[in-house]
Amino acid sequence: MKRIEIRIRDAKEEELKRISDDMGLSLNLEEMKRIKRYFVAKKREPTDVELQSIAQAWSEHCCYKSSKRILQKFIFGIEAPQNMLVIKEDAGVVEFDEEHAYVVAFESHNHPSAVEPYGGAATGIGGIVRDVICMGAQPIALIDPLFFGQLSHPDEKLPVGIKHPRFLFNGVVSGIGDYGNRIGIPTCAGMVYFDDGYVGNCVVNVGCVGIMNKADLSRSWAKPGEVLVLVGGKTGRDGIHGVTFASVELTGEEESRSAVQVGDPITKEPLMHAISEANELGLISGMKDLGGGGLSCAVSEMSHAGGCGADVHLERVKLKEEGLDGWEIWVSESQERFLIAVSGDNVEGLLAIFDKWDIDAVVIGQTFKKRPQVRIFYEGERIFELDTDFLVACPIHERPKEIRKKEEEEVSIEEPKDYNEVLTWLLAAPNITSRESIIRQYDHEVRASTVLKPMQGVIGKQTHGDAAVIKPLEESYKGLAITSDVNPSFCKLNPFWGAASAIDEVCRNLTAVGAVPHSLADCLNFGNPEKPDRMGDFYECCRGLGYMASSLGVPFVSGNVSFYNESAAMDESIPPTPAVLGIGICEDGRECITVDVKEADGNLLYVMGETKAELGGSEYYRLRHVEGGIVPRTEPEVLMQSMNALREAMQAGLIASCHDLSEGGLGVAVCEMLLGGDIGASIDLAGVKPELRSDYKLFSESNTRWVVEVWREEKRRFEDWLKERKVYVTKIGETVGEKRVGICDGKKELVEISLEEVREAWGGEIC
């Protein structure tokens, strides 16, 4: 392998930019000039491997150069409750009980999924699972918030080079299901959202939750004098320039396909077992998964974190094919690989474990105490020597931002004449209709620890649950509730309140099953940060997330920023999409509340929370082709007070079922509860904000609201309970023996529809 030098010390500005473009570095002129100054001071030219490595480390995907200052201002540093262990590395580590911690990771795989949906989504799952494993945890649950263009998007309106949303949707769902099912981890929570803003760039977010003994915690560092061992899959050309490809707008060019990694779940399964065994035996000193940037980022970040240098011998790396250049081996993002730091005394034992599991493991280098730098050798020739301080010290940009100032007021529209028709259409709307056809592709019960499933209710007639609950420990009934949410339509109209609403909904979902919100993770998906309006939306969404999380005292323990989610062909950004993953603690999973109504003839239905004339971004407005309106607000103090009161009522045995109000409002929420129980109800909206018009009462998507079913004998106790705690609550009806949904507003009849008609509308094909 020949050492290749790139002449940049005497390069002019045009040449520097050309070098970046020709080598696929995705670095701007100022960044290239900074690299030039470094090598001028070194009195030598960089090698191709060095330039590629710097590009990986300085990519938007790896170093957050456009977002870090805003994240530091609003997201980082939110105080966790006392004694809540929070370690943030490849994943967040959070205390579960005295001996155990749960681990959370949440990332995007948007660009790869837009180019090759099956492989892109599958390797997104593979990567997020590695993030959890490398902390020393056992993965126990997968989460997948997904965003696509409308599946009915006309073919003739699709720009050249853009794949149809239905093709992307089918490929992504299959990729997630196949990978998760094959490695035996339940995909138990997520969301799917459709909007034509995602036609040019779908958004595929993936999360993983794990459980571990605190004593097994593995840190992402290497200490001086340790041996570096590469374990797992072989290295190939797949995934080259993955992080730099994710740091520019999509062009639709097929050559981007080589940047998409190729997953191998069959290798991942024994690899997980081998790592777990080695970690339990105390053989692993430090560990990092080879995701973005491959060996390049893993070696430099681990050695820098441990305050040491490292020597790596590339000829020892096992390859999928012959003829790879040094820089290709170094930056390849081939899947199913980990870098492990191990003391010399433990090398033989470590290699023996991987040999037993029939997994490749090779010693590729060693750390040293001298100057913190990484050196790469190939068959004795030094082809790379960079200071880790320079590698990891990426430039931080203060991007211009344009904050949208938009006066909001409720739009005046005529009241619908046929409420039956409107409710039926809403139930069949793509963002409301049943997700069962997706959920059933995922094995959400593997490992037999999913206490509350994604679908809940009478067998064969189930409805959507608000959150899944996992029982992570065999010897304990303590559970983890998991959910993810965001409403991009809210964020599009008002990024601040849209982001705040995402946290409100996550907290509502967790509370609906009886859990206490404990930690958050965010996946922040936006357009090109070099465009001021996109950066303004990012700033406002972060401000909204920070406002809610800090007010509630619930920290972000993991997260990801994904920029450049727009395509040249569409010339528009995706809607601002700050997806939020929420984790809640259930002290006893056996006492969790489900969404399905439990008893006919006389159980009472209440709305907790205040309904307001806030229909901006609602599914009702979308159905009526109305733009604008007021995006729902949220008050964290009211949310906290309401959550506490609802959980206390559940613990007191007053609540039979519970469902949060979100897309479609009260009308849809009640129908979903009744579908799960296969029970009818009679509803009267007269007590719900009498001054509001009936359609606002029925379809408003105001925050901090739940529908609860109260045991009929507990009516007085429940009402007194909420009154004492000063929580707004309104009785809206009761369950009935007939399988029908009857809704009136005082003397005005609104809806009279059979449960079978409701099920037919809601349970149809997603389109």
Q: What is the pLDDT of residues 610-651, one digit of tens each?
A: 999 999 999 999 999 999 999 999 999 999 999 999 999 999
The whole-number average pLDDT for the span 215-219 is 92
Say if 263 falls within a structural domain. yes
Under 8 Å between Cβ of 615 and 410: yes
Q: Six-digit token pair at 692?
A: 């509001």
Half-sphere exposure of 204 (CA within 13 A, CB side): 32
Round to whole Å and give the CA distance between 79 and 146: 30
Phi, psi (rounded to 5 degrees) for 376: -120, 135
| 381-387 contact pairs (CB < 8 A, 24+) | 381/1, 381/3, 382/3, 383/1, 383/3, 383/47, 383/49, 383/314, 383/326, 384/47, 384/49, 384/50, 384/53, 384/326, 384/330, 385/50, 386/50, 386/53, 386/54, 386/300
Q: Which residues contact 541 (CB under 8 A, 6 or more apart)?
A: 491, 495, 496, 498, 499, 524, 526, 576, 578
What distance, in Å, lies between the first and last C-alpha atoms of the chain?
A: 53
223 and 142 within one domain? yes
Say if 494 falls within a structural domain. no
Boundary of a domain, candidates 392, 425, 459: 392
Under 8 Å between Cβ of 527 and 573: yes
Angle formed by the axes of helices 347-356 and 265-280, to 10°? Answer: 140
Type of residue numbered 546: G
Round to whole Å and give the CA distance between 208 and 104: 6
Do the strands 463-464 and 479-485 form a parallel or antiparallel pair, or are they unpaired?
Answer: unpaired
Say if 248 falls within a structural domain. yes
Q: Six-digit token pair at 412?
A: 């005046």
Our CA angle for 8, 11, 14, nearest 5°, is 120
Q: Six-digit token pair at 480?
A: 């983890």
Say if 706 falls within a structural domain. yes
Say if 68 falls within a structural domain. no
Say if 568 falls within a structural domain. no
Q: Six-digit token pair at 405?
A: 């100032």
Q: How many CB atoms lie within 10 A of CB 373?
A: 21
Q: Could you read off the pLDDT of 5-59 as tens digits, one per residue?
A: 999 999 999 999 999 999 988 899 999 999 999 999 999 999 999 999 999 899 8
Q: Could you read off the pLDDT of 166-211 as tens digits, one per residue?
A: 999 999 999 999 999 999 999 999 999 999 999 999 999 999 999 9
The whole-number average pLDDT for the span 421-444 is 97
The whole-number average pLDDT for the span 239-248 is 56
Q: How many CB atoms lie within 10 A of CB 15?
A: 13
Q: Which residues contact 725 (CB under 8 A, 6 or more apart)?
A: 641, 644, 645, 648
Question: Tell me, what's the pLDDT at 254?
Answer: 47
Say if 354 falls within a structural domain. yes
> What is the b/e burial string over 529-560, where b = at least 16 CB atoms within 10 angstroms of the residue's CB?
bebeebbbbbbbbbbbbbbbbbbbebbbbbbb
Choice among 100, 109, 304, 313 that is catalytic = 109
Round to whole Å and give the CA distance between 516 and 209: 17
420 and 310 within one domain? no
The CA distances from residue 632 to 342, 397, 670, in Å, are 53, 33, 20
Residue whose token pair is 């981890």: 185
Q: Is the pLDDT of residue 699 over 70?
A: yes
Nearest one of 389, 429, 400, 252 to 308, comparing CA atoms: 389
Nearest one of 704, 401, 396, 359 to 541, comparing CA atoms: 401
196 and 143 within one domain? yes
Do the strands 577-586 and 655-660 form a parallel or antiparallel pair, or are they unpaired?
Answer: unpaired
Question: Tell me, what's the pLDDT at 241?
Answer: 62
Our CA angle for 286, 287, 292, nearest 5°, is 140
160 and 116 within one domain? yes
Q: Tell me which of 599 and 262 has the higher pLDDT.
A: 599
Do the strands 337-342 and 286-289 form a parallel or antiparallel pair, or are they unpaired?
Answer: antiparallel
Q: Is the pLDDT of residue 255 over 90?
A: no
CATH code, domain carrying 335? 3.90.650.10
Under 8 Å between Cβ of 342 and 227: yes
442 and 312 within one domain? no
What stretches of 223-372 show up as alpha helix (H) in DSSP?
242-245, 265-280, 294-305, 326-331, 347-356
Nearest one of 350, 335, 317, 212 to 268, comparing CA atoms: 335
230 and 166 within one domain? yes
Round to whole Å and give the CA distance between 751 and 733: 14
Question: Tell me, what's the pLDDT at 249?
Answer: 63
Q: Is the pLDDT of residue 409 over 90?
A: no
Strand order across the 655-660 sheet: 655-660, 706-710, 604-608, 729-736, 680-684, 740-745, 748-754
The whole-number average pLDDT for the span 284-299 is 91
Question: Tell me, what's the pLDDT at 569?
Answer: 78
Q: Six-digit token pair at 762?
A: 């809601």
Q: Six-digit token pair at 262?
A: 């190729």
Q: Which residues contact 302 (CB under 8 A, 6 or more apart)?
A: 220, 221, 222, 286, 288, 310, 339, 341
Mean pLDDT across the chain: 93
- Percent of the chain residues topping a pLDDT of 70: 97
The whole-number average pLDDT for the span 83-102 is 89
If one counts the domains in the chain, the total is 2
Say if 613 falls within a structural domain. yes
233 and 370 within one domain? yes
109 is catalytic: yes
Q: Could you read off the pLDDT of 677-694 as tens digits, one per residue?
A: 999 999 999 999 999 999
Coil, helix or strand for 603? coil
Under 8 Å between Cβ of 385 and 309: no
DSSP per-residue letters across 331-344: H---SSEEEEEE-G
283 and 185 within one domain? yes
Round to whole Å and give the CA distance between 532 and 18: 26
292 and 420 within one domain? no
Range of the domain at 192: 84-392
341 and 257 within one domain? yes
Coil, helix or strand for 211? strand
Round to whole Å and give the CA distance between 285 and 283: 7
Round to whole Å and give the CA distance between 632 and 618: 9
625 is catalytic: no
Round to whole Å and give the CA distance between 565 and 249: 6
Round to whole Å and give the CA distance between 174 and 172: 5
224 and 335 within one domain? yes
418 and 377 within one domain? no
Provide the strand spans (E) within 195-257: 203-213, 227-232
- Confidence band for 562, pLDDT divided at 50, 70 and 90: very high
